[in-house]
């Protein structure tokens, strides 16, 4: 029993050390977005003015973050150019677009869903959701989820907002730590089996 307790303490210490080491290695994070440009959103094709249009400027963020948890970063500075899109354009129009997201040199393509609500006098554009992305590194992972955003355009002019994303950092044990853990558990199990065999021999 003492051996079992001693082994558990050693394994717990190894896991704590691994978590602390992972937290240090997750600091800092460099987050970059590729940007996007969308034209003729909901346009009925009768007016070749390229409106309504939405653009998102490329961004780069350096975030110092230790440990696990969530934080919010700016992905894009949004510019919505509202204007006349044709007499047949009023209504709801969904659209899908993509942009590249890079974290610490690792790049993935994010797919986003948007919707534009075209009225007779005002247009409103929404970015509704995105496909969740997970970036896996040696000692931590980062989940990226876009936060919904809306821009109301009551006139023929440009309107601005910011597209943000929530990032969640999770520490993961290093392979060497998992190997040590497995060896420790296997050794403890072998010792327990050996003691049981000795106990049976003594009883007989």
Please give the full DSSP string across 9-22, using - where no structure is assigned: HHHHHHHHHHHHHH
Structural contact between residues 42 and 54, judged by C-beta atoms closer than 8 angstroms: no
Residue 176: alpha-carbon gap to chain centroid? 26
- Degrees, nearest 5: CA angle 63-29-56: 75
- The answer to whether 149 and 112 have CB atoms below 8 angstroms apart is no
- For 11-58, what is each residue's pLDDT tens digit? 444 444 444 444 444 468 999 999 999 999 999 999 999 999 999 999
- Rounded CA separation 66/43 (Å): 47
pLDDT tens track for 167-203? 999 998 755 444 544 555 555 656 667 777 776 666 6
pTM over 0.95: no
């Amino acid at each position: 029993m003492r051996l079992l307790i001693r082994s558990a303490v050693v394994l717990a210490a190894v896991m704590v050390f691994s978590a602390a080491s992972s937290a240090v290695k997750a600091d800092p994070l460099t987050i970059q977005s590729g940007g996007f440009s969308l034209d003729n959103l909901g346009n009925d094709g009768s007016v070749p003015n390229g409106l309504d249009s939405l653009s998102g400027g490329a961004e780069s963020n350096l975030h110092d973050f230790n440990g696990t948890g969530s934080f919010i970063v700016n992905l894009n500075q949004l510019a919505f150019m509202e204007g006349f899109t044709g007499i047949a354009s009023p209504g709801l129009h969904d659209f899908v677009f993509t942009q590249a997201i890079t974290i610490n040199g690792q790049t993935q393509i994010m797919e986003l869903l948007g919707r534009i609500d075209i009225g007779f006098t005002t247009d409103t554009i929404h970015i509704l959701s995105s496909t969740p992305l997970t970036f896996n590194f040696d000692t931590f992972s980062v989940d990226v989820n876009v936060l919904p955003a809306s821009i109301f355009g009551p006139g023929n002019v440009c309107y601005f907002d910011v597209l943000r994303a929530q990032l969640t950092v999770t520490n993961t044990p290093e392979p060497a730590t998992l190997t040590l853990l497995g060896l420790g558990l296997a050794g403890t199990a072998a010792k327990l089996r050996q003691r049981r065999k000795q106990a049976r021999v003594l009883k007989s």
